[in-house]
């Protein structure tokens, strides 16, 4: 009988403790009358969104992109895989093709790597090439 109680306690204790801790989806500021301090922001909460631009808006421009983000091309649905691109310096920015992958469809764009400036081009499914400059900045 003592062994069954020990086993039951070993199984029940983690369940009880897990039930007392808030999950990620619970709002910690709601609950008790005393409330609680909001959790501090993690690095994931502070990530910046990509810079999104249509290819037509790129012609002859200098696009500023913050390091750690990306430049995403807003292309018509269904043409994501049909776009190509280049950069003069892949150490600063590199083209990333779009298209379907693992059940999702990704837009083409440029992954920025280092602070600096590089010439870039994108070519659409109709063969039209757009030339522009990517300037990668710290902020």
Q: Domains of the chain, with CATH numbers?
A: 48-137 (2.60.40.2020)
User: Which pLDDT belongs to residue 92?
Assistant: 98
Chain centre distance of CA 78: 21
Residue pair 69/112 in contact (Cβ under 8 Å)? The answer is yes
Is pTM beyond 0.75? Reply is no
The mean of the pLDDT values for the chain is 81
Q: Render pLDDT for 62-119 as a digit per residue (tens, 0 to 9).
A: 999 999 999 999 999 999 999 999 999 999 999 999 999 999 999 999 999 999 999 9
> DSSP letters along the chain, please?
-HHHHHHHHHHHHHHHHHHHSPPTTS-TTSSSTT--PPPPPPTGGGPPPPEEE-HHHHTT-EEEEETTSEEEE---TT-GGG-EEEES-TTTEEEE--EEETTEEE--EEEE-SSEEEEEEEE-TTS-EEEEEEEEE--
User: Which pLDDT belongs to residue 7?
Assistant: 43
């Amino acid at each position: 009988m003592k062994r069954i109680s020990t086993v039951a306690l070993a199984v029940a204790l983690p369940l009880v403790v897990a039930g007392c801790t808030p999950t990620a989806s619970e709002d910690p500021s709601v609950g008790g009358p005393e409330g609680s301090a909001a959790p501090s922001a993690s690095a994931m909460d502070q990530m910046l969104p990509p810079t999104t631009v249509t290819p037509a808006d790129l012609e002859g421009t200098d696009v500023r992109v913050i390091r750690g983000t990306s430049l995403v091309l807003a292309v018509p649905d269904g043409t994501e895989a049909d776009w190509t691109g280049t950069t003069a310096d892949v150490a600063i920015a590199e083209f990333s093709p779009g298209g379907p992958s693992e059940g999702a469809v990704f837009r083409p764009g440029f992954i920025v790597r280092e602070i600096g400036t590089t010439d870039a081009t994108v070519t659409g499914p109709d063969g039209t090439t757009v030339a522009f400059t990517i300037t990668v900045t710290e902020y």
